[in-house]
Amino acid sequence: MNIDELRDHLCGQYPDLCPLFSIEFGDGTLQVECRGLYDAAADLKSLGFDMLGMVTAVDRGEHFEMVYRLTSREMSVGMFLKCLVPRDKPHTRSLYDLWPAALWQEREVYDLFGIEFDGHPDLRRIMLPEDWVGHPLRKDYQDERIIKRPDYI
């Protein structure tokens, strides 16, 4: 499977994707709803994306944006898989059973963002002590221990 077949396949499957979807330079992005995340991931895995590079989240104000970075070794190309997660009671499906690499990365996202992952074997804090309150990487995280660097550039 080379890159063009991949493109046609994806364009066929996700119609709104087609106009400006480029994969060569490694910044191709596939945006899906939260519900369809697991199926899209499984589909991509079957297409040849056998390595899950990165799992992270970005606090976009009124919702979180989950960003997955998938790499295919035989096509030697990388791709983004993104989905939006609502801010109140954020939860999404864990990709552990597709790629075990997601085990610790999802724990880290849970620890720093507070996004629950259903189906994750042991979802607990990984970076912060057990008794930590709050999720620091959220933009609205209040903590009296943080001393803000003055806005002086």
Partner 1 sequence: MDVRPQVSNEYSEGIAGVVERWKSLATGLSITLGRAMGPHKTLSYPAEKLPMTARWRGSLHLNGILGHDEIEVVRSQAPEYNGIIAGLYAEERLAPCVGNCPANVDARGQNYYMADDRPVEAYELVRERNIMPGVLGRICHHPCENACRRNYYDEPLAIRPLHRMAYEAYQENKPALSPMPVTQDKSVAIIGSGPSGLAAAFDLMRLGYKVTMYEKEAKPGGALYSGVPSYRLPREVLHGEIDDLVALGLELHCGVEIGVDVPIDHLMGEFDAVLIAVGLQVSRLLPIPGTDADGVRGALEFLRESNWKGDAGVKGLRVMVIGGGNVAVDVARCALRVGASEVRLACLEASEEMPCHPWEIEEALDEGVIAMCGQGPEKVLEQDGKVVGMQLRECLSVFDESGRFSPKFGDEYTTVDCDVVVFSIGQAPLLADLVGGSDLMLTDRGLLPVDGEVMTTDVPGVFASGEVVTGPGSAIASIASGHEAAISIDRYLQGHDLFEGRVARPVPVYDRYQVATVEGVEESRRRVPMPMARPEERATDFRQVELGMTHLEALNEAARCLRCQTGVCVGCTFCARTCPDYAISVDRIDDPGERKVTHYDLDLTKCCFCGLCAEQCPTDALRHTGQYELSFYQRDLMIFDRDEMLRDPAGTRSTGRDGIHPGDSGGEA
Partner 2 sequence: MAIVDRVGSALEHGPGRVVLSSLDALFDWARSHSQWVMPMGTACCAMEMIASFPFTKFDSDRHGVIPQADPRHADVMVVAGTITRKMQPAVIRLYEQMPDPKWVIAMGNCTVSGGIFYYDTYSVVRGVDEFLPVDVYIAGCPPRPEAVQDALMQLREKIRQESIGPNTRHVRKLTLPGPGESRASVEPSEPGEVG
Partner 3 sequence: MSLQIEEQRQTEGPDGRPRQELVVNVGPSHPSTHGVGRVVVHLDGEVITKADMIIGYLHRGIEKMCENRTYLQVVPLTDRLDYVGSMYSNWAYCRAVERLAAIRVPERAEYIRVIVAEMQRIASHMMSIGSAAADTAAATLFIYSFDERERIIELFEELCGARLTYNYVRPGGVAFDLPEGWTDSVLEFTKAHRKALDLMDRMYFGNVIARGRLKGVAVLGRDDAVAWGASGPVARGSGVDWDLRKHDSYSVYPRFDFNVPIGENGDAYDRARTRLLECYESCSIIEQAIEQMPTGPHKVEGQPRLIMPRAGDAYDHIESARGSLGVYIVADGSPRPYRVKFRSPAFCNLALVPKLAVGHTLSDLVVVLGSLDPVFGEVDR
Site string for partner 2, 131-150 (x = CB under 8 A): -----x----x-x-xxxxx-
Alpha carbon separation from 97 to 92, 94, 101 (Å, rounded): 14, 8, 9
The footprint of partner 3 (CB under 8 A) covers 26-27, 50-54, 56, 58-59, 67, 69, 71, 73, 76-78, 80, 99-101, 103-105, 108, 112, 125-130, 136-137, 148-149, 153
Q: Which two tokens stand for residue 119?
A: 């189906």
Q: Please, which residue, 7 or 71, has the CB nearer to partner 3? A: 71
Q: Which two tokens stand for residue 31?
A: 């945006």
Alpha carbon separation from 125 to 14, 100, 111, 143 (Å, rounded): 35, 18, 5, 18
Q: Please, which residue, 14 or 141, has the CB nearer to partner 2? A: 141
Which partner, partner 2, partner 1, partner 3, none, binds residue 145 by CB below 5 to 8 Å per kind? partner 2
Which partner, partner 1, partner 2, partner 3, none, binds residue 24 by CB below 5 to 8 Å per kind? none
55 exposure class (CB count in 10 Å sphere: 0-12, 13-18, 19+): buried
CB 66 within 8 Å of CB 38: no
Binding site for partner 2 (CB under 8 A): 128-129, 136, 141, 143, 145-149
